[in-house]
Every structure is written in structure tokens, then in C-alpha cells.
Amino acid sequence: MAAQDLPIVGDSFALGYRFQRHWDTSMANAFFFGELGAAVFLVSMLCGFVPGMLGGLVITGTLKTFFHITHMGVPGKSWRAIVRPDRSWVSRGLLGIVCLMGFGGLSTLVAWTGALAPDSPLTMLLKFAAGAAALVVMTYQGLAMSHSTAISLWNTGLMPVASLVYSATGGTLLTLLGGWSTFSAAENGERPMLANVALLLVVVIAVVVASLLHGAHHGSPGGRKSVEVLTRTYYAKWFWGCICVVVATAGVLTGHYAFRVLMFKAGVYEPIMNFRF
């Protein structure tokens, strides 16, 4: 029997594939809201839309933190995750969140009150630091997952790219929706610009997801099993119905959320013995 033909065996001691369940819905929620909030902040900052900047910080600071804490067995020790950024993308990501809340909060306050000139060196420095932190938050989840050699579906450089484009698309559309009455509808205004960027990002999402699945299918047996689980068996209706149908703001956000959940649920460990007999 070839390794790729082995069944999914759950928690039994039989030879086969096992779903990972260490990271599940609560972590998917944390990743989703963290990426989305950071993207809303970043896009809003680039457009000068202060309410969007504040909204993005609230999304990341409250919802991401809440779902991370619900996942942890000992929430009181969660602060330890930040002390070793040299070893883990989880630590680097938490540091990025702290920087986003700090520099992003200051940038929002400055933009709201007009305490500093928009083009002053300090204002630009705050924006640069906040923007860099937002990019870290938008991508570090994918970088953390891509380091997992035990789960072939995750072990690819496309995982952080998927995090980035999904979050950027959702952030662009939410910013467009929130600032619709404020943004200019002129040919060179914010409305057509954001709409065109969102449309382009939807195309990029399709390419990235297709490439991710192609690489997993033609990689290890575990990767092929994960693609089968996503597209043909366990989670096929959710994959095709949610991830691949992105026709409006709600559809894009649904696709982003479904991507986060299904990437966790479809991850399978390689069989203990990977051979033919």
C-alpha cells in the first residue's frame, strides 16, 4: 500500500494520517481578526482615513487578543511569548502587535488632533513604524505556519503570501465601505482606486490559493491528503462554497475567514512510516 493511500485514522494507533487539532477555530479567529484589523489600519492610514485607523486598532487589539487568550491553557503566562523573538514567529508577531498598538495609536492620535504637521519628520517616522508593524501582523501567522515541516499543507513560502493578500483585500474593502461617504468618487479619487486595488487582489488570491494547492498536491503524501480533504471529501463544500466564491465585500471576508479555519482543519501529519510495502 502506498503512503498516499493510507486512511485518516483519528486518534487510533493504526498507520495513517491524523488531523492536527492543536490550532483550531479559536486560533483561526485570532489570526483572522489580527490580519484584518492590521490591514484596515494600514489601508486607512495610507488613505488618511482616521476612523478606519482607529477601527483597525480596535479589531486587532480586542478580538485577536480575546481569541488568543481563549486558546491558551494558562492565559496568565501569555506574556512569556514575547520574550524570545529570536526563536519564534509567534513571539515576533506578538511584538509586532505591541508596536502596532503603540505606534499606530500615536499615529491615529496625531492624525485626529492635528498635533503635528502631516509631513513632519516625527509624523512620518510614526507612520513608518506603524506601517511596518501592521505588515508584520498581516504576515507573521503565515510565517509561523510555514515553519511546520510536519504538516505539508502549511510548509510553503506561499502561506505568508496568502495571509498578506487575504488581509489586504479585506482591509481594502472594509476601508472602502467605511469611508464611502468621505472618499472622492472622482477618476483619481479614493473610491475608484480602492475598488481597482481590491479587484486586483481578488485575482492574486485566486492565483496564490491555486498555487498553494498545486504545490501541496505535488509534494508529499500528507500534502496530497490535505488537498483531497479540502477539495473532495471532508471540507470540500466549505472550500468551494466559501473560499472560491469571492464576489462582494462579505464574500471576500467569508473567504478569508474560511481560509483561516480550513487551513487548520485540513492540516494532516505525515504517517509515522512513509513507505510502500
- pLDDT string in tens for the chain (277-residue length): 445 567 676 666 666 777 777 777 888 888 899 999 999 999 999 999 999 999 999 999 999 888 877 776 655 666 666 777 767 777 888 889 999 999 999 999 999 998 888 889 999 999 999 999 999 999 998 898 888 888 888 889 999 999 999 999 999 999 998 998 899 888 788 999 998 998 899 889 889 989 999 998 888 888 888 899 888 888 888 888 777 665 455 567 778 888 888 888 888 877 765 544 4
Say which residue the cell 487578543 belongs to: 65
CATH of 3-269, one of 3.40.50.20, 1.20.1630.10, 3.30.2020.30, 3.40.50.300: 1.20.1630.10
What pLDDT sits at residue 275?
A: 44
Q: What is the DSSP string of 156-169?
A: STHHHHHHHHHHHH
- Go through 25-61 and write b for each residue having 16 or more CB atoms within 10 A of its CB, e for each that does not: ebbbbbbbbbbbbbbbbbbbbbbebbebbbbbbebbb
Quote the CA–CA distance of 195 and 199 in Å, as a whole number: 6
Q: Where are the domains of the chain?
A: 3-269
